[in-house]
Structure 1
Amino acid sequence: MKLDSNNHSVFLMYYHLVLVVKYRRNVIDDTISAYAKDKFVSLSEKYNITLIEWSHDFNHIHILFKAQPNSELSKFINTYKSASSRLIKKEFPSVRKKLWKEMFWLRSFCLLTTGGFPIKVVKEYIENQGMK
């Protein structure tokens, strides 16, 4: 197992994030998912976060990512949700028909550490989401 490091620490920090669309509306397709993924990647660099795996279903997304000890996870997640919500609704006007106001995501989110499971198992789980 290869550990990550910086000037002051050695670490291995993987997280599984699940974001759900407001009212569980079925609005995510491949195009919106790809757009949201691009926004995640561009914003994550500033927070020392690296995307490992991404998958979506019609009303939620699963994200596996690595972070560093100095990554401000809740700040990053809330910044991402706010920015992506605004940009998705601007770029894809059809979403506004199913969602109103400015919110795209539920206020809450699910963030899990993956320490209890091998990364391979979590990665396969995320890859198989929405396949049923």
Structure 2
Amino acid sequence: MKLDSNNHSVFSMYYQLVLVVKYRRKVIDDTISDYAKDKFISLSEKYNITLVEWNHNCDHIHIFFKAQPNSELSKFINAYKSASSRLIKKDFPHVRKKLWKEMFWSRSFCLLTTGGSSIEVVKAYIETQGMK
């Protein structure tokens, strides 16, 4: 296992994040997913977060990323959800018609550590999402 390091620590911190569209509205296509992914990458740099794998279904996204001990995960997730929601609704106005009260993401999210599974197992799982 390859470990990451910074000035004061050695670590391996991998997470799986699942974000669901409010009321599971089916609004995510490849274009919106790619757009949301670009926003994730641009915002994640500020929080010392690196994208490893990304995939989507029509009503949710799966994100596999690694972080550092100083990454503020809940602040990052909330900032990402807020920014991506606002920008998706602005740049894809047709999506607004399918939402309930213009809320894009569900208030909750699922964040899992990947300590129980190997990284390859998690990556393979995410790669197969949306292939049903």
TM range (shorter): over 0.9
Mapped pair 1:88 → 2:82: no
- Is the contact made by 1:85 and 1:102 (CA closer than 8 Å) also made in structure 2? no
Counterpart of 1:120, as a letter, is: E
Cα distance in 2 for residues equivalent to 1:123 and 1:94: 32
Post-superposition offset of 1:101: 3.2
Cα distance in 2 for residues equivalent to 1:128 and 1:10: 31
- Is the contact made by 1:18 and 1:61 (CA closer than 8 Å) also made in structure 2? yes
Post-superposition offset of 1:100: 3.8
- Is the contact made by 2:15 and 2:64 (CA closer than 8 Å) also made in structure 1? yes
Greater CA drift, 119-128 or 97-106: 97-106
Cα distance in 1 for residues equivalent to 2:99 and 2:68: 34
**Residue in 1 aligned with 2:54?**
54
Identity over aligned residues, as a percent?
85
- Is the contact made by 1:54 and 1:62 (CA closer than 8 Å) also made in structure 2? yes
**Residue in 2 aligned with 1:34?**
34
**Residue in 2 aligned with 1:45?**
45
Q: TM-score, normalised by structure 1?
A: 0.98
**Residue in 1 aligned with 2:71?**
71
**Residue in 1 aligned with 2:25?**
25
Counterpart of 1:108, as a letter, is: S
Cα distance in 2 for residues equivalent to 1:71 and 1:115: 18
> Could you give the per-residue CA deviations for residues 29-73 of structure 1, whole angstroms, max 9, x where no partner exists?
000000000000000000000000000000000000000000000
Cα distance in 2 for residues equivalent to 1:101 and 1:61: 21
- Is the contact made by 2:27 and 2:58 (CA closer than 8 Å) also made in structure 1? yes
Corresponding pairs, count:
132
Post-superposition offset of 1:84: 0.2
What is the root-mean-square deviation of aligned Cα atoms in Å?
0.7
- Is the contact made by 1:17 and 1:112 (CA closer than 8 Å) also made in structure 2? yes
User: Any idea what SS the aligned residue of 1:131 has?
Assistant: coil
> Could you give the per-residue CA deviations for residues 54-110 of structure 1, whole angstroms, max 9, x where no partner exists?
000000000000000000000000000000000000000110110143421000000
